[in-house]
Structure 1
Amino acid sequence: MIRIGIGGWNFAPWRGVFYPDDLPQRRELEYASRALTSIEINATYYGSQKPASFRKWHDQTPDDFIFALKGPRYATNRRVLAEAGDSVQRFLTSGITELGTRLGPLNWQLPETKRFDAEDFGAFLSLLPDSHDGIPLRHAIEARHDSFADDKAAALCRDRNIALVRAGDSKFPDIDARTADFAYLRLMGTTDIPSGYSDADLDRWAATARAIAQDRDLYLYVISGEKRRNPAAAMALIDRLKDAG
């Protein structure tokens, strides 16, 4: 399974570029979820959302659509990750399972300054449960410090079937370590051309996606870079992978 999308769906510069000029703002998620196959919700990183919001997002999207959710910064932007238990639990009980089968991986993004500490990192991973309310959970760690390019970090994730996020075309480390039965890739290098990426770069990332998906699921998000062009790049990748069967 390959899911490809963008970060969020409310972004004014997408109107008239990605969204039709006459599309009501209230229908943007409906439109985006038909053009893409996944969206990474970033609002959950900054604050709690209501159960009713998760239910509404579920109801506005197709059955096979998937949301990835960013874990709250209150859990990850701290000196001692092992002390994040309460923040993790508040997030898990905030209503995320209202998404039902549309709930995809949870991305726990660490700050750039957070260095790898095996004991503390392992303790944090132990706070991430395999399920909640009877719904299986998949977790991914977005480590943004070079020290996480360490076999010990990969081994700790592998023991828990937790993915290490790959950061493509960015200043952050691209940690290409297989640690789970799924992969999580964030592409951050779009430029201000209509397709976001050149044909050569789109072909390169499509080939990477095909290789990864030979034996595991892939969640791929076009994030950052020239954000106005991210939907076009995501759709171009979807088209390439459809063409390849």
Structure 2
Amino acid sequence: MSQMMQQKGTAWIGTSNIVVPGNKNTFPPAFQAKSRLHYYSSLFNSVEVNSTFYKTPLPSTTRKWADDVGENFSFTIKLSKAITHSKELEGDFGLLEPFMTAAAGLGEKKGSLLIQFPGKITLDYFDQVESILYEVEENDPDGAWRKAVEFRHDRWYTGETIELLNHFNATMVLQDIPKSSNMNAVETISRLKAGFVYLRFHGPNGDYRDSYTNLFLEEKAALIARWLAAGKDVFAYFNNTIGNAFDNARQLRTMVDGGPAENL
């Protein structure tokens, strides 16, 4: 795909968690004494950190992450499951303060905050989701984090949800889990005011496996090019980590940058 439109936004493309082939012994010599993150950052300009979903890191840890990558790199972090996956969404909001304090350790390398709800959370939980977004906003008074909300139930894809997300200046994640996929609902983006787009690729069958075709990636690269030309930043992460996340992310990066659509 040729680069036909001038990019005004930035494309942040990578994998869900650090995915690089081989081990340190197979890394290029210049990286063998470095961390996996440092090597990864030479290949991609962003990573979606899912480990924060399970455990809140120390601020010293996130500062180390930030120090381990170059200037033009961003971290997306996934909000703790103690908030988004708690019973009836009645989690302890007191956990948000230490989480956001740790997240602040990333400094200028903040990307976006991924807030993912499970499939059992239907539109019936609208008020609880609103409360979570409110508490996140309260714990981010400077608005340092861009917020991306991923739903796993298709009843959420309504005008009411768009209004909710716009109120909190959040975007809706476009994702491809079959039962709740909204990956092709690109018109939704024009109705959201957050100013950025967030794509999550969970695998062609939504099971974190396998590889996307060149045709699929070319179609997404063309969409991304349009959003970038319109001045929107785009975050795109491949979560098919049991499959071909690494190569798919590299392919998409090459296509967005105007390179040939070839298998890498």
What TM-score range do you get, normalising by the shorter chain? 0.7 to 0.9
Partner secondary structure for residue 180 of structure 2 = coil
**In structure 2, C-alpha distance between the alignment counterparts of 1:82 and 1:161, rounded to whole Å:** 23
Does the CA-based 8 Å contact 1:170-1:188 persist in structure 2? no
2:11 equivalent to 1:2: yes
Question: Which deviates further from its counterpart, 99-108 or 126-135?
Answer: 126-135
Query: Kindly tell me: are residues 29 and 167 of structure 1, through their superposed partners in 2, closer, same or farther at Cα, counting changes over 3 Å?
Result: same
**In structure 1, C-alpha distance between the alignment counterparts of 2:178 and 2:41, rounded to whole Å:** 26
Question: Which deviates further from its counterpart, 228-237 or 163-172?
Answer: 163-172
Aligned residue identity for 2:85: N
Query: Kindly tell me: are residues 190 and 53 of structure 1, through their superposed partners in 2, closer, same or farther at Cα, counting changes over 3 Å?
Result: farther
2:220 equivalent to 1:205: yes
Query: Kindly tell me: are residues 131 and 53 of structure 1, through their superposed partners in 2, closer, same or farther at Cα, counting changes over 3 Å?
Result: same
Match of residue 49 from structure 1: 57
Query: Kindly tell me: are residues 232 and 190 of structure 1, through their superposed partners in 2, closer, same or farther at Cα, counting changes over 3 Å?
Result: farther
Query: Kindly tell me: are residues 152 and 134 of structure 1, through their superposed partners in 2, closer, same or farther at Cα, counting changes over 3 Å?
Result: closer
2:211 equivalent to 1:188: no
1:62-113 residue CA offsets vs partner (Å, 9 max, x unmatched): 10100000000000112443654223223112x2111111111110111111
- How many pairs are equivalent? 236
**In structure 1, C-alpha distance between the alignment counterparts of 2:181 and 2:90, rounded to whole Å:** 23
**In structure 1, C-alpha distance between the alignment counterparts of 2:87 and 2:174, rounded to whole Å:** 23
Gaps of 5+ in 1: none
Match of residue 104 from structure 1: 111
Does the CA-based 8 Å contact 2:148-2:172 persist in structure 1? yes
**In structure 2, C-alpha distance between the alignment counterparts of 1:135 and 1:153, rounded to whole Å:** 20
**In structure 2, C-alpha distance between the alignment counterparts of 1:216 and 1:158, rounded to whole Å:** 15
Match of residue 5 from structure 2: none
Question: Which deviates further from its counterpart, 182-191 or 111-120?
Answer: 182-191
Gaps of 5+ in 2: 1-9, 260-264
Aligned residue identity for 1:222: F
Cα RMSD (Å) of the superposition?
Answer: 2.7
Which structure has more RCO (C-alpha within 8 Å, separation ≥ 6)? 2
Question: TM-score if structure 2 supplies the norm length?
Answer: 0.80
Query: Kindly tell me: are residues 20 and 170 of structure 1, through their superposed partners in 2, closer, same or farther at Cα, counting changes over 3 Å?
Result: farther
Q: What displacement does 1:167 show?
A: 0.3
Question: TM-score if structure 1 supplies the norm length?
Answer: 0.85
Question: Which deviates further from its counterpart, 20-29 or 153-162?
Answer: 20-29
**In structure 2, C-alpha distance between the alignment counterparts of 1:92 and 1:32, rounded to whole Å:** 24
